[in-house]
Amino acid sequence: MSLTRRDFARRSAFTGAGIALAGSVGALATAPGALASTDTETAGDETEDRPSGLGYGPLIPDPQGLLALPAGFSYRIVTYSGKTKLETGEFTPSNHDGTSAFDGPRGATLLVNNHELKGPRADWAHPVPLTEGLVYDPAASGGCTVVEVRHEHVAEWVGIAGTSTNCAGGNTPWGTWLTCEETEDKAGKNGMTKDHGYVFEVDPEDRRANRDPKPLKALGRYAHEAVVVDPKRGHLYLTEDASGPNGLLYRWTPPEGFHHGRGRLRTLADDAGRLQAFKCFDSGGRFVDDLSRATKIGTVYGVDWIDVPDRDATTVSVRKQFASGEVTRARKLEGMWWGDGGTYIVSSYAREESPVQHDGQVWFYDPRRRTLTLKVLLGVNPDPAKEGGFDGPDNITVSPYGGLVIAEDGAGVQHLFGATDSGRTYPIARNELNIGSAEEPEYSEFTGVTFSPDGKTLFANIQEPGIMLAVTGPWKRQKRH
């Protein structure tokens, strides 16, 4: 049943505010620089009054100059582009991005790791090797590797090759990885020999299942970022990282009678199911053109879904097929993660291309209520080079210890940071690998944040040059403060 703007407004009138529609709406990150009041102009720095017991304490500089962690924590390098090697002898590809962890055989952990490499292979020192049988487009440089970690033993092999700009993605309830191409390059552009901008499925356990890669065209062709699967209803939700105009949030509904499972998505026709873009409206029934309009944590929007006219973007990009007023847009729609009966969705930042500027949002979509609730809003960070503030959330995961763990892709200092259910944030790690100069330091973003299936190890990547890290320590449940 469609939740219309009129229905949403009527229900909101009974509650007095849209917030009550979603039950208890705890702000998930009144971070340093985050919005805890009414607008971005009043955001303050809370580092000085962070409650005792929150997080794991201050970050301690790393003598090796790689990763600052709290006392009691340690890290291990799992893969390092240009240093570690695949089973076949080539170096680990560069530019690590989205990652997820799976239970492997005999107690091992299997990780599927995206490599965000765009354009011709000659542009990169360490592209994903063109392993026979696993190549979609031999001109493309990106793809995924599968990393097996068992105690001190690490092995790595190619999961898919010949794809482009593999940014984020998402795991599935049936134990596979959906890797997303963040590009709209068609055959003939940037040296490509096939169209790109698709989602592909990678099986971490069955190498044979990855042979003859097939794009999942039913999910559309656009600048894909992340994807999650609703395990109850079967819907897939997908983010688009694009501008001019800003990108969209999509929902794919499977065709009647379809049942998910390993490899089943690739059996679908290119036009199977329904691909739709979201359209939001506030508690007064007014259309919301862009998510940056929300300036208060706890803002709740109703959501409708509008059919995509041409999902393969034959002549016009998908996001450009909608006229003004038809859909809601947002800048830098990035990571997603399924949890708490819905999906957390990141809008990394908004600048002049958006109605209101901010340095990061995290939303929660509740599919049962068809509502979108603002959980995190980071005000524009006035000094990104200064330690203490967070900006530019990107990849995200739900923590087994409560709340979220977020990878920072902002300006200046880069962190992994946690956000509790009650609205406080705390640092977990800081990238100390300077890839710039002493005069103009530069630190690569964190990506691929994910916990091992047993919750004991936090895996994360430093995108450049491409380093996968395993962090262990005295994890504890974060209480509400």
**Looking at residue 204, what is its pLDDT?**
98
Q: Residue 211: CB partners within 8 Å, gap ≥ 6? A: 133, 134
Rounded to whole angstroms, the Cα distance separating 182 from 241 reads 7
Secondary structure (3-state) at 411: coil
In total, the chain counts a number of residues equal to 481
Helices of type H across 336-446: none
Secondary structure (3-state) at 82: coil
Taking a C-beta distance cutoff of 8 angstroms, is the pair 418, 478 a contact?
yes
Question: pTM above 0.75?
Answer: yes
Question: How do residues 425-446 score in pLDDT, each as one tens digit?
Answer: 889 999 999 999 999 999 999 9
**Tokens at residue 141, please?**
């440089």
Nearest Cα residue to 334 out of 420, 464, 226 = 226
**Looking at residue 315, what is its pLDDT?**
96
Other CB atoms within 10 Å distance of the CB of residue 64: 10
Other CB atoms within 10 Å distance of the CB of residue 325: 9
**Looking at residue 433, what is its pLDDT?**
96
Secondary structure (3-state) at 48: helix
**Looking at residue 480, what is its pLDDT?**
64
- Please spell the DSSP secondary structure of 301-313, one letter per residue: EEEEEEE-S-TT-
Rounded to whole angstroms, the Cα distance separating 232 from 249 reads 20
Rounded to whole angstroms, the Cα distance separating 345 from 237 reads 10
**Looking at residue 420, what is its pLDDT?**
78
Kindly tell me the burial class for residue 287, based on how many C-beta atoms sit within 10 Å of its own C-beta (0-12, 13-18, 19 or more). Answer: middle
**Looking at residue 422, what is its pLDDT?**
62
Nearest Cα residue to 288 out of 354, 378, 367 = 354
β-strand partners of 303: 280
Which helix or strand (DSSP H or E) is residue 202 part of?
strand 199-202
**Looking at residue 479, what is its pLDDT?**
73
Ordered by start, the domain boundaries in the chain are: 31-92+381-481
Secondary structure (3-state) at 471: strand
**Looking at residue 424, what is its pLDDT?**
73
Q: Which residue has the tokens 């949890």?
A: 339
Phi and psi (nearest 5°) for 304?
-110, 165
Q: Which residues of the chain have pLDDT under 70?
A: 1-52, 388, 422-423, 480-481
Q: Residue 60: CB partners within 8 Å, gap ≥ 6? A: 68, 69, 70, 71
Q: Residue 50: CB partners within 8 Å, gap ≥ 6? A: 424, 426
Assign 3-class secondary structure to 230-282: CCCCCCEEEEECCCCCCECEEEEECCCCCCCCCCCHHHCCCCCCEEEEEEEEC
Taking a C-beta distance cutoff of 8 angstroms, is the pair 129, 160 a contact?
no
> Taking all residues of the chain, what is their mean pLDDT, rounded to a whole number?
88
Q: Residue 165: CB partners within 8 Å, gap ≥ 6? A: 116, 117, 118, 142, 181, 182, 183, 196
**Looking at residue 291, what is its pLDDT?**
96
